[in-house]
Amino acid sequence: MLGALVGLTAEAKLLRARLPHCAIAVSGATREGAERGIAALKRAGATQLLSFGCAAGLSPLLKPGTILVPDWVDVDGHRFQTDLTLRNRFGAGQAGAKHGGLRHSDDLIVTAADKALLFAETHCLGVDMESGLVAQAGLPFAVLRVICDDAARDLPPVAQDVLAEGRISIPRLLSGLARKPNQIGALMALGREAGIARKAMKSFLRRVH
């Protein structure tokens, strides 16, 4: 039985549209949420895991909407290999899918400078906040991610504290913009990139499922 861990409820909705019988847990983009989600998936009977959703780009060659089907996940310098059968099931070898490494981080990577540093250290294509915990869960696993914010993108401060229970909190968003209205342009650009990523993932899922 396949279980999937995602960061946001919007990602869960996107995956469920193609895999209606898959057990899905939402981490809320926190380590504690990811740990609870993995435990819940195991209790539900999951024997295989998928880490699904968005990732931040580390390679400067990758743009928003690039699909990642990693061969391995880097957790503090230790590489965890993804399962070949699952990797193929979720699009390895498909046109446009990129392979290689994905970095795990417990914290949101918010600046282009930090992304460049991680890329220099690891040569990973992207970074997310769930895949490392999935990799360490002791079950065969795969990762299917799409680049949202690329390596050149600095996240506006409001984007760093806008989530609540896996969703965008409108009160937090409005409060953050009221304090620093000059973030609006960067937030709109990030929203456009998120739209590109969502459209690319929907198209890719239709091809492989």
Supply 150's token pair. 């690329």
pLDDT band at 123 (very low <50, low <70, confident <90, very high): very high
Please state the domain count of the chain. 1
Q: How far apart are CA 31 and CA 26, in angstroms?
A: 11
CA torsion, ordered 184, 188, 193, 195, to nearest 10 deg = 140
CATH code of residue 92: 3.40.50.1580
pLDDT of residue 189: 78
Residue 9's closest CA among 125, 207, 168, 186?
Answer: 168
Calpha distance 95→12 (Å, rounded): 24
pLDDT of residue 73: 98
Q: Residue 166: pLDDT band by 50, 70, 90 thresholds?
A: very low
Asked if pLDDT for residue 180 goes beyond 80, the answer is no
Categorize the per-residue pLDDT at 170 as very low, low, confident or very high, splitting at 50, 70 and 90: low
pLDDT value at position 88?
95
Residue 209, CA distances (Å) to 16, 25, 52, 99, 205 in order: 11, 20, 14, 19, 6
What DSSP character marks residue 186?
Answer: H
Please name the amino acid found at residue 61. L
Mean pLDDT score across all residues of the chain: 89
Contact 23, 46 (CB under 8 A): yes
The residues near 110 (Cβ < 8 Å, ≥ 6 apart) are 154, 155, 159, 160
Helix (H), strand (E) at residue 118 = helix 112-122
Q: What is the pLDDT of residues 188-208, one digit of tens each?
A: 778 889 899 999 999 999 988
Q: What is the pLDDT of residue 188?
A: 75
Average pLDDT on 150-168 reads 69
pLDDT of residue 1: 94
- The DSSP 8-state label assigned to residue 154 in this structure reads P
Query: Is this structure's pTM higher than 0.85?
Result: yes
Q: Are strands 78-81 and 163-164 parallel, antiparallel or unpaired?
A: unpaired
Alpha helices in the chain (DSSP H): 9-18, 31-43, 84-89, 112-122, 131-135, 170-179, 184-208
Element (H, E) at 29: none
> Which residue, chain included where needed, has tokens 């050149």?
152
The domain of 127 spans: 2-208
Which H or E element spans position 144?
strand 141-147
Distance CA 41, CA 2 (A): 9
Q: What pLDDT, on the 0 to 100 scale, is given for residue 164?
A: 44
How do residues 71-117 score in pLDDT, each as one tens digit? 999 999 999 999 999 999 999 999 999 999 999 999 889 899 999 99
The residues pairing with 78 across neighbouring beta strands, listed in sequence order, are: 75
